[in-house]
């Protein structure tokens, strides 16, 4: 069996990925790539990061056997990789710690980030507070409205929120503005990208920092089940939690891997964020990957009830994994995700974020009364606190009462 070895030295996953940015940013990305390569072998860096993972984040996150949900599905034994238990409530912190340590090493003094659901914004604001660096978070006004608790969290942590009014006023536009900020402030600024998207080396770097999820899950499942899982399931927006779980299993051909995208009001409608189901290859945010676009290559606006998945692009490694058929991708609608959100809360006593609710919905739908004696690991990558208002509104519950 051929060992999986992606990307190549210029950030290509097959034909996907690359660095499509203006010359103002090119030298910075090349420098970032060089610095990242260096610290990967730096024992002090690795030790520092592992200490933070253990004592600040609370890693390893547990692998919980979801007994009630498994019984309800009447199919496989389902395990949750509980990255929602991390400090700040999602997997995003794993990557932010890695990147801020790198920023420190590179002597950068100002941090910027984009955020959709606010989880990456909160995680970035958190690590900036910890390391005493000024933090500027770009966030679409639509997302500010639907993720208010996280906006307040970021402010408490000392971050400055920059409201983005351009385009669809969500994650895509926040990323455009963050990139513009970086072009303007190239000398002192480090851009912490929150997903496995953007130009090289981000997709690789973010995957590497997140792959702690999959490494732990692998050890944990071998301990309890004495075998590798039969299936991995994770939601995919930009795709960082999914890559984190999938990456350490890519060489295990027997492990079937499933990525779940947000299909919004339906993958065949205009209101979707299911990039790989409904999109075509194109260039967005410096990377060649599947993207929602029209015949002229204009990027379409995405739609999803989940702000974290509301993105018309996807990380280039997912595009590659789709094309080589190593991972299968499916779409789940807003409505299906909302149902799973409630089912999981009632059955397991865990209120999941709307993002992993998409993965849960797929699991319930596709595995019901099937695949008995199989083992599934689902990445529960975020908790639902931030979504309470959105979900209440969608379900028709008056949360203000």
Q: Which of 2, 3, 5, 23 binds other proteins (CB under 8 A)?
A: 23
Q: Does 130 bind other proteins (CB under 8 A)?
A: no
By CB under 8 A, residue 302 contacts other proteins = no
d(Cα 116, Cα 311) in Å, to the nearest integer? 9
Q: Is residue 21 within the footprint of other proteins (CB under 8 A)?
A: yes
Residue number, 22 or 369, with CB nearest to other proteins: 22
Given 296, 398, 400, 401, the residue binding other proteins (CB under 8 A) = 296
Stretch that binds other proteins, among 16-24, 43-51, 144-152, 320-328 (CB under 8 A): 16-24
- The helix/strand count (H/E) of the chain reads as 16, 14
Residues whose CB falls within 8 Å of the CB of residue 273, separated by 6 or more in sequence, listed in order: 237, 261, 262, 263, 264, 292, 302, 303, 304, 309, 310, 311, 312
Least spacing, CB of residue 259 vs other proteins, in Å = 24
Q: What distance in Å separates the CA atoms of residue 243 and residue 23, rounded to the nearest whole number?
A: 29
189 contacts other proteins (rule: CB under 8 A): no
What is the per-residue binding string for other proteins in 140-169, x denoting contact by CB under 8 A?
--------------------------xx--
Buried b (16+ CB within 10 A) or exposed e, 84-115: bbbbbbbbbbbbbbbbbbbbeebebebbbbbb
How far apart CA 101 and CA 209 sit, in angstroms, is 11
- 197 class by beta-carbon count within 10 Å (0-12 exposed, 13-18 middle, 19+ buried): buried
Stretch that binds other proteins, among 78-86, 209-217, 297-305, 332-340 (CB under 8 A): 297-305
Strand-pair category, 63-65 with 231-236? unpaired
Report, in Å, the least distance between residue 297 CB and other proteins.
3
23 three-state secondary structure: coil
**Which one, 199 or 214, has the nearer CB to other proteins?**
199
Q: 202 and 316 in contact (C-beta within 8 Å)?
A: no
| Helix, strand, or coil (residue 271) | coil
285 binds other proteins (CB under 8 A): yes
Q: Does 293 bind other proteins (CB under 8 A)?
A: yes
Q: Report, in Å, the least distance between residue 236 CB and other proteins.
A: 20
Nearer to other proteins, 186 or 388 (CB): 186
7 lies in the site for other proteins, by CB under 8 A? no
Of the candidates 209, 243, 237, which has an alpha carbon nearest to the alpha carbon of residue 114? 237
The residue ranges that bind other proteins (CB under 8 A) are 10, 18-28, 166-167, 172, 176, 179-180, 183-187, 282-286, 293, 295-299
């Amino acid at each position: 069996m051929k060992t999986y070895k992606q990307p190549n030295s210029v950030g290509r996953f097959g034909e996907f990925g690359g660095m499509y940015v203006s010359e103002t940013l090119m030298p910075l990305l090349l420098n970032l790539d060089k610095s990242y390569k260096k610290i990967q072998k730096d024992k002090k860096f690795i030790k520092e990061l592992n200490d933070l993972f253990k004592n600040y984040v609370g890693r390893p996150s547990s692998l919980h056997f979801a007994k009630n949900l498994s019984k309800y599905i009447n199919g496989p034994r389902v395990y949750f990789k509980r990255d929602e238990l991390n400090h700040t409530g999602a997997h995003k912190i794993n990557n932010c710690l890695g990147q801020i340590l790198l920023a420190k090493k590179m002597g950068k003094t100002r941090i910027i980030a984009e955020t959709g659901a606010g989880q990456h914004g909160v995680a970035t604001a958190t690590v900036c507070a910890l390391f005493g660096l000024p933090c500027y978070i770009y966030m679409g006004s639509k997302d500010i409205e639907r993720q208010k608790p996280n906006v307040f969290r970021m402010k408490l942590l000392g971050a400055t929120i920059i409201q983005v009014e351009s385009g669809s006023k969500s994650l895509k536009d926040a990323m455009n503005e963050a990139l513009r900020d970086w072009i303007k402030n190239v000398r002192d600024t480090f851009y912490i990208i929150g997903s496995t998207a953007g130009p090289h080396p981000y997709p690789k770097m973010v995957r590497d920092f997140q792959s702690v999820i999959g490494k732990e899950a692998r050890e944990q499942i071998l301990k309890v089940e004495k075998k590798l899982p039969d299936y991995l399931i994770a939601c995919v927006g930009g795709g960082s939690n999914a890559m984190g779980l999938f990456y350490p299993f890519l060489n295990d051909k027997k492990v079937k891997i499933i990525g779940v995208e947000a299909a919004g009001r339906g993958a065949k409608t205009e209101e979707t964020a299911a990039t790989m189901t409904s999109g075509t290859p194109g260039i967005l945010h410096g990377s060649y990957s599947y993207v929602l676009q029209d015949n002229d290559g204009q990027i379409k606006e995405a739609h999803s009830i989940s702000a974290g998945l509301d993105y018309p692009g996807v990380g280039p490694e997912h595009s590659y994994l789709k094309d080589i058929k190593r991972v299968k991708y499916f779409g789940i609608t807003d409505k299906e995700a909302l149902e799973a959100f409630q089912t999981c809360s009632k059955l397991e006593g865990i209120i999941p974020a709307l993002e992993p609710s998409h993965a849960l919905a797929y699991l319930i739908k596709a595995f019901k009364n099937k695949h008995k004696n199989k083992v599934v690991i689902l990445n529960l990558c975020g908790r639902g606190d931030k979504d309470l208002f959105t979900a209440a509104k969608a379900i028709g519950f008056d949360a203000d009462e």
